[in-house]
Amino acid sequence: MSISPTALGSAYSPWLRDLKSEERGLFLIHLLLNCTNHVAAGNIDQANAFLEHISLLASPEGDTMQRIASYFTEALARRLLRSWPGLYRAINPGLYRATIL
């Protein structure tokens, strides 16, 4: 089942704030799977919307699932950025300087 990022509602909806840790973890997995599908299909706008929602629920300082989701979100964002090599190199110049030298 796929969900639309617009169906998630406002980032500050009460139901998002009231999620228990396990519920938030399952919801994050669902969001990550949908985001991954959009990244793989090249649906940049949809993937970006999912990345925004995941970023609101995940944190590198949060519980285990939040940390995992945060790292996967970063990886998915990097994969999207690689669609634009010039932009990716500008944001990550150290990665390319080492290969040139």
Question: 39 with 75: CB under 8 angstroms?
Answer: no
Model confidence at 1, pLDDT cuts 50, 70, 90, reads: very low
Q: In the prediction, which pLDDT does 81 show?
A: 86
Interval 72-85: pLDDT, tens? 999 999 898 888 77
Distances (CA, A) of 52 to 28, 32, 58, 93: 12, 11, 10, 25
Mean pLDDT within 25-34? 96
Cα–Cα distance measured from residue 76 to residue 49, given in angstroms and rounded to the nearest whole number: 12
How is the chain split into domains, by residue range?
11-100
Angle value at C-alpha 54, between 49 and 58, nearest 5 degrees: 160
Residues 58, 36: Cα–Cα separation, whole Å: 16
76: its two tokens? 């998915």
Which residue type sits at 18?
D
Locus of tokens 């995992």: 68
